[in-house]
Amino acid sequence: MAEPYNFNGESVDPVVEVELSGDESDSDSDSGSDYEDDAPPTPAEEEEEGDEYIPIAPSARVPVNHVPSRSSRVLSVNVEGERTKRRRGEEGRAAAAVAAEVCSSSSQGSQWNRVEIDGLFCSICMEAWTSEGDHHICCLPCGHLFGLSCINKWLRQKRSSGKCPQCNRKCTLKEVRKLFAPRIAVVDEESQKRIHFLETKCASLEKKDAEWSKIEALWHKKESELQQKIKQLVERTVQMQRSLDNFNNTVAGLYTARRGHHVPFIPDNTATSNFSMQGSSGSFELQEELYVEGARLFDINISSQTVLVARRPPKVGGCHFTKISLMPPHGTSEIFLSLSTNIIKDLHFCPLNTNLVLFASLGKKLSILSLESNNITLSYDLPCPAWSCSWDINSPHHVYAGLQNGMLLEFDIRQTAKPLESRSGLSNNPIHTVHSLPYNGTLPIGARTVLSASSIGICQWIFEAAEERPSLVPTSGNQGVCISLAHCPTTENIVATYRPKVETFPSCEVAATGSQAFVSHSSQAIGQGIQGSHLHLKRTGSSYETLGSASATVSNIRLPRCTIICRKQEQPCLFVSGDEAAQGLLLQELPSFAFNQHLQSSRKSFISDVKYASSANIQGGGVLGCLSESTLQLFTTRS
């Protein structure tokens, strides 16, 4: 006699299996057996056969090791009594509760997951089976599971032809086997995979959350450090403002103390004082004198109280910058450049951003230096060495570079690849000076006007317009060799400096005709001053008006620097240039070129650069700088 097993192959409560013959089973049909198939159906059964049962969902399958023959049946009789019946009733109710829970959860979802109910419901009636009673769980030889009453009704139908509702395998009522299991459930591999995936995802999210927490803590720390630094900078700014106020008060006191004690101007070179001046109001006085070895060029920034000097010290390769503070005690810092930069020919502070400096060099570079980081933030490669540069005073994004071959290039610092425009000049002579002119409404909106100076004279360039080539400013091309150009954007005053053209014939000595002189190579010694001229022009609309000219002593080999000082409306503008004969600065009123003041250089050497920076915050209106042989002199006006 075979032992009954549950779904997991374990032995269950002992039962008595009685093998009966066909006759005996017929005689015992009244005992409640549901396995009859030979007896003729009663009218009630025929009525039941009219009902057709169609399975809704596939049932689970279990292996069946023993398939009895048709001539025999197995009757399972429970010997445990009422206790076992109560236990099985509880199991049936538990299975029904689980099934109800699954159905409830499935109805709340967007679709019905059939895998969740496998092992809980009969696939014919879709009701939970029990471990006892009419709806006892049972299986066919093919392994599919059904409720006992449901499969009996199914197999008795004429249409079913005694086949399994799932696989259509032939079977009879005799082959139906009861299963004794508290619950049958199928392991959902997809759910297991999804659970594993979600667990992995949760672990990854927890890891990322921990990393972001660390980063957040780091940023909080950095934010606190920056706030502390901002606080320190604010305190330092307040302190520097107080120092500046004290400095201005001290300067004002010095001006008051020095009133009436001026050294008279001595026209010859026997003056022993550092500076000479007239005693009129608005004259310049020496304020500071700084020694800067190897200095060549400089520029002044009044807003940041900074002077930037381009240096090339002897016995030291390459050029570098020295940043000097105008605030006592005049702290300095060095900004070193690469050796490929070569000699710096021109530099200018940005008029709209005082922390940026534009400089041109013979190393075929046009570069922008940031004084905040002391590093070059932008550098353009040029086709040939650059001699001059300028910011556009109308736009902070445009810069210009005058090249050695006479070309003028326009750049947009927002485009770092190539120049915005590249134009050829009227000659191949180097462009030694470039000035951006303010927009005056005579050109289309967006057009930009630039003045340049080379040996042939003054040229006007118009960018963002139909004109492609420059035009020579009238009367500026027949004065000689143009060696300097100064421009005042406020008053549109322009002063060009000329020296005589050199005659190629060695027998020619000196011949003066009008305002132009021709000098032979042998008539002047190298490095000495020669007789030249200044030409004063004024821009009015789109034309240029000649206001005056004057003779001057200029260098026969160097390109001098000059500037124009715009004073109050009732006072004429001052033209400042280096005087080669007196070796100092000569200040002349425009347009008459009348003498105003002479400022003697400290070492009585040639003037290499002159710059003027004006500001309403400075006592007297501005600072005039003069660079001569490693000495930087700073002059201010008295009230």
Cα within 13 Å of Cα(175), Cβ side = 20
CATH 2.130.10.10 fits 340-364+380-472, yes or no: yes
Q: What is the pLDDT of residue 287?
A: 87
Cα within 13 Å of Cα(448), Cβ side = 22
Residue 222: count of CB within 10 angstroms of its CB: 10
- Which residues, 6 or more positions from 563, have their beta carbon under 8 angstroms from its beta carbon? 486, 576, 610, 611, 612
Q: What is the pLDDT of residue 345?
A: 94
The whole-angstrom distance between residue 107's C-alpha and the CA centroid of its chain comes to 53
Q: What is the pLDDT of residue 106?
A: 43
φ/ψ of residue 301, rounded to 5: -120, 105
Q: What is the pLDDT of residue 281?
A: 54
φ/ψ of residue 140, rounded to 5: -95, 170
pLDDT at residue 170 is higher than 50:
yes
Q: What is the mean pLDDT of residues 580-603?
A: 84
* Domain ranges within the chain, ordered by starting residue: 15-190, 340-364+380-472
Q: What is the mean pLDDT of residues 199-219?
A: 94
Q: What is the pLDDT of residue 354?
A: 80
- In this prediction, residue 429 has a pLDDT band, given cuts at 50, 70 and 90, of very high
419 CB burial (10 A radius; 0-12, 13-18, 19+): buried
- For residues 139 and 141, what is the distance between their CA atoms, to the nearest angstrom? 7
* Tens digit of each residue's pLDDT (9 = 90 or more) over 7-36: 444 444 443 333 333 333 333 333 333 433
pLDDT at residue 383 is higher than 80:
yes
- For residues 94 and 91, what is the distance between their CA atoms, to the nearest angstrom? 5
Window from 141-155, 502-516, 555-569, 616-630 with minimum mean pLDDT: 502-516
* Tens digit of each residue's pLDDT (9 = 90 or more) over 299-312: 999 888 899 999 98
- In this prediction, residue 520 has a pLDDT band, given cuts at 50, 70 and 90, of very low
- Which residues, 6 or more positions from 635, have their beta carbon under 8 angstroms from its beta carbon? 275, 284, 285, 286, 287, 599, 623, 624, 625, 626
Q: Say if residue 329 is preceded by a cis peptide, omega within 30 of 0.
A: yes
Contact 319, 339 (CB under 8 A): no
* Tens digit of each residue's pLDDT (9 = 90 or more) over 388-424: 999 999 888 999 999 999 999 999 999 888 899 999 9
pLDDT at residue 457 is higher than 70:
yes
DSSP per-residue letters across 509-568: -EEEETTEEEE-TTSS-TT-EEEEEEEEEEEETTEEEEEEEEEEEEESSS---EEEE---
38: tokens are 């030979």
- For residues 544 and 341, what is the distance between their CA atoms, to the nearest angstrom? 37
- For residues 409 and 360, what is the distance between their CA atoms, to the nearest angstrom? 12
Beta strand 529-540 with 516-519: parallel, antiparallel or unpaired? unpaired
165 CB burial (10 A radius; 0-12, 13-18, 19+): buried
φ/ψ of residue 598, rounded to 5: -130, 130
- Of residues 405 and 116, the one with the higher pLDDT is 405
Nearest one of 14, 134, 137 to 77, comparing CA atoms: 14
- For residues 440 and 510, what is the distance between their CA atoms, to the nearest angstrom? 43
- For residues 562 and 433, what is the distance between their CA atoms, to the nearest angstrom? 11
- For residues 427 and 161, what is the distance between their CA atoms, to the nearest angstrom? 112
Q: H or E element: which one contains 386? A: strand 386-391
- For residues 185 and 71, what is the distance between their CA atoms, to the nearest angstrom? 33
pLDDT at residue 84 is higher than 60:
no
Q: What is the mean pLDDT of residues 608-631?
A: 79
Query: What spatial distance separates the first Cα and last Cα of the chain, rounded to whole Å?
Result: 131
pLDDT at residue 483 is higher than 90:
yes
- In this prediction, residue 87 has a pLDDT band, given cuts at 50, 70 and 90, of low
DSSP per-residue letters across 402-415: EETTS-EEEEETT-
Cα within 13 Å of Cα(19), Cβ side = 7
- Which residues, 6 or more positions from 227, have their beta carbon under 8 angstroms from its beta carbon? none
The mean pLDDT of the chain is: 75
* Tens digit of each residue's pLDDT (9 = 90 or more) over 431-455: 999 999 998 878 888 889 999 999 9
Q: Which residues pair with 576 in a beta bridge?
A: 563, 587
Burial 61-84 (b: 16+ CB within 10 A, else e): ebeeeeeeeeeebbbeeeeeeeeb
* Tens digit of each residue's pLDDT (9 = 90 or more) over 47-78: 444 444 444 444 444 444 444 443 333 333 34
Contact 176, 168 (CB under 8 A): no
- For residues 75 and 511, what is the distance between their CA atoms, to the nearest angstrom? 147
- Of residues 362 and 50, the one with the higher pLDDT is 362
- For residues 88 and 94, what is the distance between their CA atoms, to the nearest angstrom? 10
- For residues 35 and 510, what is the distance between their CA atoms, to the nearest angstrom? 146
pLDDT at residue 321 is higher than 70:
yes
66: tokens are 């023993």
- In this prediction, residue 550 has a pLDDT band, given cuts at 50, 70 and 90, of very high
Q: Which amino acid is it at 405?
A: N
Q: Which amino acid is it at 345?
A: K
